[in-house]
Each structure stands twice: as C-alpha cells, then as structure tokens.
Structure 1
C-alpha cells in the first residue's frame, strides 16, 4: 500500500490559482495525492472564470469553495505533507503553524482574476495559469518522493516553482 500525500495550495483570496491547483492535483494525482486549497483572506466565492474553465476541462468542481487557511491549522484538520503558495502575497504572509512540518515551496503565478479586458483576454489568462499549474503539478506528481532525501526533495520543489525547465536538474 502506498502513502497518499496531502497537499495544500495557498493564495490570498482562494478564488482562482489555489482552486485551480486543488482541482488539477486531485485529477492528476488521484490515489497518490489529495489536494486542498485555502486563503489568508478568502474571497468567499470561487471565481466564475476558474469554475467555468475547470468544468469545460472535465474537472469535478462540486466540492470547491473559498475558505480560510485557519481550517487547516485546527487540531482535527488533515495533516499536510506539502504546502505550496501560488501567489506572492500568501508567500510573504506569516502562515499558521502546520502540524507535522510539511514541505513548503513557492510556486508564484500572476493572478488571472486581476486581468481586465474582454472575456477572451480573461479566459486566456485563466487558461495560461491552468497550463502552468498543470505542468508544475505533473512534474511534482512524477517525482520519486519516497526515494528522495528531504533536501533533494526541497530543492526539486523550489526548482519547479522557479523555472519549469530546470525542475529535473536538481
């Protein structure tokens, strides 16, 4: 029996990038990973463009909701193995204490919800964010986690966030 790793994607509003990360990881890493998302100051609603994109691409969106990262710092919350910040604001904020000392990395991406313009421009921004997250998550999901020492794994997680082309170089 293989371990299922819990992964938390964090962003300030938990309405777009972290939600996309949660949905992609749950699809890409089914059986190996269980993903969650949260925000330091949750927007309260999932961005409709994020939901529409995920539905169009065949993701289950039924359980997606904007929520506070405080939920995952509670004693009865799932123990996280990995925590990824996907926006600059969440990376710079003081995070709650995560029981079990999960591996952390910053995978910063531009906020597609901040794009102003036509629906085509907004949809393009969300599609590009989805593509980049999916690429990072696919690389992460293919890592031989159990056989890597903690430092090597941390280096690879950081490389994934910095530059996708160098993620396998460490």
Structure 2
C-alpha cells in the first residue's frame, strides 16, 4: 500500500472569523484525506463569526476545531510547512502577508467581505450565504484541478480495488 502525501493549505483573511474559516472547514470536510487545511489572519477575531458557524453547521462534522488564529503561528521554525497559501481578501494578498517557512505557492481567491462595515443585518445573512457558495465552487474546482486530482487518482488505482469508485 502506498502512502499518499497530504497537501498543506493555509487560508488567510484579516480577522480569520469568516471566509478563511469557511474555506478551512470545507476543504477539511470535502477532501481531508488529501489536504490538511488551516486558516489564520493578521488580526484574528475573538471567535468564529456566528453566521459562519450557521452556514457550516449542516455539513461540517467537526466545528469544534475551528478558531481564529494569528498568521504568526505559521511563520516559526516549528510551524507546518505549507504547500499553498491562499489569500482571501485584499488586505492579506501579496506583499502584505509574512513569509511562511518552506516554499509555499501563493494564490489569491478574493471574495467580498460578508462582515463589511455598514451592511444592514438582513443583508449580512445573504452576503454570508453568497460567499459560502462562492467558496464551495472555488474549492470544488481546486480539489479537482489536475495538480491535485492526479495524485488522488494514482493513489486510488494502487490502493482501491477496481470495483470501488473514486469519489470525494
């Protein structure tokens, strides 16, 4: 039996209470057998935003592991070596993010902030739902991208009998 390496992915967002948390939870749930998902931000909130939890509750099995973290937790010698770091808002994209150990690829998936100041409360719930589904679509494309799907298919052909389908 072959051991398949899991890719380490870090999602960044300013407060790490909504978009990056949603992405971390969804990647862990949808493809945790192939990816280790993390999230962080430069100004972590005191808690995960309650509407983010509401969006995740129906399909996420382990909400208890989600918490806002500082991105500094991922910059030290002892930090896990990321394969990919994904900025989810403009304030953490590009040159604003710290250097992370190893040589992670950097990417930006910019989504509107459902916590934007001045947004009326009834619209906030709709904004969370919209960004949730945008992240689901982006992650689905990411999970099936040739770079990551090829490893899964190769491992499946070695480890799984031909009668078992290769599904997420």
TM-score by length of 1: 0.80
Shift of 1:118: 3.6
Once residues 38 and 147 of structure 1 are traced to their aligned partners in structure 2, the CA distance between those partners, rounded to angstroms, is 25
In the other structure, the counterpart of 1:108 is: 110
- 5+ residue gaps, structure 2, are 151-168
- 5+ residue gaps, structure 1, are 149-170
Once residues 146 and 45 of structure 1 are traced to their aligned partners in structure 2, the CA distance between those partners, rounded to angstroms, is 31
Structure with bigger gyration radius: 2
In the other structure, the counterpart of 2:130 is: 128
In the other structure, the counterpart of 2:120 is: 117
Once residues 60 and 75 of structure 2 are traced to their aligned partners in structure 1, the CA distance between those partners, rounded to angstroms, is 31
In the other structure, the counterpart of 2:5 is: 3
Once residues 91 and 146 of structure 1 are traced to their aligned partners in structure 2, the CA distance between those partners, rounded to angstroms, is 23
Do 1:6 and 1:82's aligned partners in 2 also have CA atoms closer than 8 Å?
yes
Q: Deviations over 1:4-28 (max 9, x none)?
A: 0000000111111110110111011
Once residues 87 and 146 of structure 1 are traced to their aligned partners in structure 2, the CA distance between those partners, rounded to angstroms, is 24
Tell me the SS of whatever aligns to 2:111.
coil
Structure 2 CA distance for partners of 1:131 and 1:146, relative to 1, 3 Å:
closer
Do 2:29 and 2:60's aligned partners in 1 also have CA atoms closer than 8 Å?
no
Structure 2 CA distance for partners of 1:76 and 1:136, relative to 1, 3 Å:
same
Do 1:54 and 1:60's aligned partners in 2 also have CA atoms closer than 8 Å?
no
TM-score by length of 2: 0.81
**Residue 45 (structure 1) aligned to one of 34, 44, 47:** 47
Structure 2 CA distance for partners of 1:100 and 1:56, relative to 1, 3 Å:
same
Structure 2 CA distance for partners of 1:15 and 1:32, relative to 1, 3 Å:
same
Tell me the SS of whatever aligns to 1:83.
strand
When the two chains are superposed, the root-mean-square deviation of aligned CA atoms in Å is 1.8
Shift of 1:93: 5.0
Once residues 91 and 4 of structure 2 are traced to their aligned partners in structure 1, the CA distance between those partners, rounded to angstroms, is 34
Do 1:16 and 1:46's aligned partners in 2 also have CA atoms closer than 8 Å?
yes
**Residue 98 (structure 1) aligned to one of 97, 100, 122:** 100
Aligned residues: 147
